[in-house]
Amino acid sequence: MEDERPLTSRLSRHSRQVQVLYVACEGESTEPDYLQYLNEHFGDGDGQGRRPFRIQPVYRRNGWTPSAAVEAARKAAGEDEAWALFDRDQWEDIPHAIKDAAESRIELAFSHPSFDLWLLLHFQAFGGAQSGSSTLVVEKLRQARGADAFKDYDKRGDKSVKGARRDALTGREAQAVANARRLVASCTHGLCDPGQAQTKPPGEDAASHSPQEWAARSGHAVDCPVLQRDPSTDVWRLLVRLGIVAPGPGTPRRSGRRS
């Protein structure tokens, strides 16, 4: 589409050392900003086994629907790894998005009620059903200890993640992952387990998955309805996938931040 942001030049995945992931974002500001933060702070690798990576955010003005984000990720990625980030806002489209993602092996990072929850988990744990509203999540983020840069978050439409806000997030990746995993473990379904989450890319020869099985890569039970995972966020799987945080509870691996 004409207002889709340009993509970087594609190289053969067999001829490069840098991992390339195409991540389509439902939003046009917060999520792409955060992905660029990951590139800048961790994309060079750590010299201790974590490979360099480059995330190519795929987004457009006024955002995507969840299913459109999945389709955009599929088209942009080609043979590269693809993810789609979306939240609960456009809930009626989510089953369609999950079905399409399962068919195309597009990894999902679903947040309920919103991506704002993932930012909050860098600073504190959170719980309690929000029924699709991000009001309390944003309020907690503005007031969180260590999150002074977010005091005016989402005021006057500013939901960017740049400058001081990126600095505030730095070093809190393991805490965010641990808090997100805790939400999986405490899901009201009762059988969800973050230890069952899949954090490695599916093989090219992997068996086909039902939409329910694909959505269970997050560690939630196969029969745990996605829209009832309230609150939850699967963004932690992306950080573990990239080696930014080790699987399970632990400390963040050292940043390869560029000077």
Element (H, E) at 81: strand 81-87
pLDDT at 204: 61
| pLDDT band, very low/low/confident/very high, at 25 (cuts 50, 70, 90) | very high
| pLDDT band, very low/low/confident/very high, at 249 (cuts 50, 70, 90) | low
pLDDT at 147: 99
- Edge to edge, the sheet with strand 232-233 lists 53-58, 19-25, 81-87, 107-112, 232-233
Q: What is the pLDDT of residues 152-209, one digit of tens each?
A: 999 999 999 999 999 999 999 999 999 999 999 999 999 999 999 999 988 765 668 9
Computed over every residue of the chain, the mean pLDDT equals 90
Amino acid at 89: D
| pLDDT band, very low/low/confident/very high, at 16 (cuts 50, 70, 90) | low
pLDDT at 206: 60
Percent of the chain exceeding pLDDT 70 equals 88
Task: Output the six-digit token pair for 79.
Answer: 């043979």
Q: pLDDT higher for 8 or 158?
A: 158
pTM for this entry: 0.90
Q: How far from 216 is each of 20, 106, 179, 182, 243, CA to CA, in Å?
A: 24, 13, 18, 16, 21
- pLDDT of residue 6 exceeding 80, the answer is no
pLDDT at 8: 45
Tell me the mean pLDDT in the region 34-43.
Answer: 98
Tell me the mean pLDDT in the region 65-80.
Answer: 97
